[in-house]
Each structure stands twice: as structure tokens, then as C-alpha cells.
């Protein structure tokens, strides 16, 4: 049998050659810079997909874990703190830090019913944001922590100008995350997740330890989100202010998962491309174009495409749930009709 590349390989292959189109464009378009956001959100949404897509637990506070990762990374590596352990150890440590945060929130709350759990995660997201904002002794409040060190590997440094290096670094890390999640998905643990999503009671009677399995999903998602947070901090060389990790971010990640295809890796990649493409590429470019034409800005709220963001997120969720409940690219595993 001939080997045929699956959809994930195709998408990643296209991503790998994408920066080359810049050679054929008349003026620099910074395509690779724009796509970075897609990669970061893809990692975040892949994390959310583990808990919401695989285990069926709605998490509305994924941005909080991203924030925890971002601040953990910044505190561990920034020169104004005593640790300064460097980029790679710092990035790797975001994983256990995120998992621990997930464990601490999940341990008392995971026995709650689905919608209550969703609200707890939402409240947790708000609390984390407030704490980061108010504990300005440690977190520098709304200034955010900066600068954080740039990554270096075998003597090469990533500086802010190296668009392509950053692009390929993020792509490589995205591939690592995808590989890890694919292995999880096909492991005993992954099957247990699908099983509790479909029927908790039946799984329990089959000997699956539901609490433990949920806990692992929750922690794994938190770890991946924290990893995405650490990574975004190093891309921006700053944590940014705490409100960069607000409810909107959690909902954007949720949109990616739901629009793309809940429980499907390809779906999440497609969803990230569609949603982030709309949010930070199409809207931003449209704003810029309108502004050069002299329309928009402060004069009329309707003419600034940025002001349509919430409407797009909202419509994406409502329409996706109503018309395409399994998303643009549904997972291949058979789902029970609900």
C-alpha cells in the first residue's frame, strides 16, 4: 500500500513552505509574523481540546492557565528576578507548573456537574486575572514582566527581527505538541477520556476511575495552555498586562475548538486558522485599509472592523452549535448521536 499523507501532515507541510510565498510578493507582507498567532492559539486550543473535546468537560478559564504559564515563565527567566534559568528550562517548567495549577483547581471541583464546572473555571479565570493585576509587587501589575530572554539553540539566537526563525521555532513546537497529543489520544488514557465523555456511568462500571481520568485531562490541558503562555511571552518578550489573558481569550480558544471540530486535531488546526485569521489578520488589515482611506477610527463605531470582534465570536459559536455541531472537520472516531 502506498503511503498517503494525512490531513495533519498536509496542513503542516503547507505551513512549512508558507514563508516562501513572501519571495514572490512585490513588497514584504510579513506573512510569517501574522501566522505566529495562529500557531500560538493552535497550541492553546489543542490544550482546550484535550479537556473539552476528549473528556467533554467545558473549561471557560483556559486563559488563566495560559496566564499562569506566562507569568511562571517570565518570573523564572526575567533578569529582574533571582532565578534566571534560561529559555529552555523555563519553557519546560511551564508544563509542570500548569499541570499543578490544573490539579489544584480540578481536585475539589471536578465532581461538579458540567455547567457548574464551566462556571467554576470561568470564576477561576477572573480570579487569576485580578490576582495578577493586584499583586503588583510580584507581577508588576498592568505593566507586565519584561524583558524575557530570547531562545538560543547551539549558538544561534532568536532576536526580535528573525521573523523566519521564530516562525519555524513555533511550527516545530506545534508539531511536538501535536505528536504528544496524538499519542495521548490513541493511548489507554485517551480511550478512557472518550469513554467518560460519552457515558460517565457506563465508564465507571467498566472500571474506569472517572475522577482520576478527568483530573488527568484537566491537568494535561492546563499544562499545554501554560506552555502556550510561556511561548507567547517569549515571542512578545513580555507577559503583557494581565487583561491579555481575559475571558475573551478563553472564548476565542473555545471558538477555535467548536468551529474547527470538537475532539479533532485537524479541526483545531483549521479552526485556529479560520478564527485567528479573522480576528488578527483580516480584521486588523481591514482596519488598516479603512484607516488609510480616511474612514473609521473614532468617528463611527461601525466602521472600525475591530469592533465587530465579539459579534464574530458570538455568531461563530451560535451558528457552529446549531448548524455544524461537530465542527468543520469532525473527528473520525464515531460519536454517539445525541
* Contacts with another protein, residue ranges (CB under 8 A): 56, 58, 60, 108-109, 112-116, 118-120, 122-124, 126-127, 130-131, 133-134, 247, 251, 254, 258, 298-302, 307-311, 313-319, 321-322, 325, 338
CB closer to another protein out of 142 and 183: 142
Q: Coil, strand, or helix at residue 157? A: strand
Least distance to another protein, CB of residue 14, Å = 29
d(CA 164, CA 32): 7
152: which strand partners?
157
Least distance to another protein, CB of residue 45, Å = 14
Least distance to another protein, CB of residue 214, Å = 14
CB closer to another protein out of 165 and 335: 335
Query: DSSP code of 206?
Result: T
Peptide bond into 147 cis (omega under 30): yes
Least distance to another protein, CB of residue 263, Å = 12
How crowded is residue 150: how many other Cβ atoms within 10 Å of its Cβ? 16
CB closer to another protein out of 96 and 123: 123
CB closer to another protein out of 90 and 296: 296
CB closer to another protein out of 60 and 97: 60
Q: For the packed helices 31-48 and 163-185, what is the interaxial angle rounded to 10 degrees?
A: 20
CA angle 337, 312, 290 (to 5 degrees): 155
With the CA atoms of 172, 178, 183 and 185 taken in that order, what torsion angle do they form, in degrees rounded to the nearest 10?
170
Amino acid at each position: 500500500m502506498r503511503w498517503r499523507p494525512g490531513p495533519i501532515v498536509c496542513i503542516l507541510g503547507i505551513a512549512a513552505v508558507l514563508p516562501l510565498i513572501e519571495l514572490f510578493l512585490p513588497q514584504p507582507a510579513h506573512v510569517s509574523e501574522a501566522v505566529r498567532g495562529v500557531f500560538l492559539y493552535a497550541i492553546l486550543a489543542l490544550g482546550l481540546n484535550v479537556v473539552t473535546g476528549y473528556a467533554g468537560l467545558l473549561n471557560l478559564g483556559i486563559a488563566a492557565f495560559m496566564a499562569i504559564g506566562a507569568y511562571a515563565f517570565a518570573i523564572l527567566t526575567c533578569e529582574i528576578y533571582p532565578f534566571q534559568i534560561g529559555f529552555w528550562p523555563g519553557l519546560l517548567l511551564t508544563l509542570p507548573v500548569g499541570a499543578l495549577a490544573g490539579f489544584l483547581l480540578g481536585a475539589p471541583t471536578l465532581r461538579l456537574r458540567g455547567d457548574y464546572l464551566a462556571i467554576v473555571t470561568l470564576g477561576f479565570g477572573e480570579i487569576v486575572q485580578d490576582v495578577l493585576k493586584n499583586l503588583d509587587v510580584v507581577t508588576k501589575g498592568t505593566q507586565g514582566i519584561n524583558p524575557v530572554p530570547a531562545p538560543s539553540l547551539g549558538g544561534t539566537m532568536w532576536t526580535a527581527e528573525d521573523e523566519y526563525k521564530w516562525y519555524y521555532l513555533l511550527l516545530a513546537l506545534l508539531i511536538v505538541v501535536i505528536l504528544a497529543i496524538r499519542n495521548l489520544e490513541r493511548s489507554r488514557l485517551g480511550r478512557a477520556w472518550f469513554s467518560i465523555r460519552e457515558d460517565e456511568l457506563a465508564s465507571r462500571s467498566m472500571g474506569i476511575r472517572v475522577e482520576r481520568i478527568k483530573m488527568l485531562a484537566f491537568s494535561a490541558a492546563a499544562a499545554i495552555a501554560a506552555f502556550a503562555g510561556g511561548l507567547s511571552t517569549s515571542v512578545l518578550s513580555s507577559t503583557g498586562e494581565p487583561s491579555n489573558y481575559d475571558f475573551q481569550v478563553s472564548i476565542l480558544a473555545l471558538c477555535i475548538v467548536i468551529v474547527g471540530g470538537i475532539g479533532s486535531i485537524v479541526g483545531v488546526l483549521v479552526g485556529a486558522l479560520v478564527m485567528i485569521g479573522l480576528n488578527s489578520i483580516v480584521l486588523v488589515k481591514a482596519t488598516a485599509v479603512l484607516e488609510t482611506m480616511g474612514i473609521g477610527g473614532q468617528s463611527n463605531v461601525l466602521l472600525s472592523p475591530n469592533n465587530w470582534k465579539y459579534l464574530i465570536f458570538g455568531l461563530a459559536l451560535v451558528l457552529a452549535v446549531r448548524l455544524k455541531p461537530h465542527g468543520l472537520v469532525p473527528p473520525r472516531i464515531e460519536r454517539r448521536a445525541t
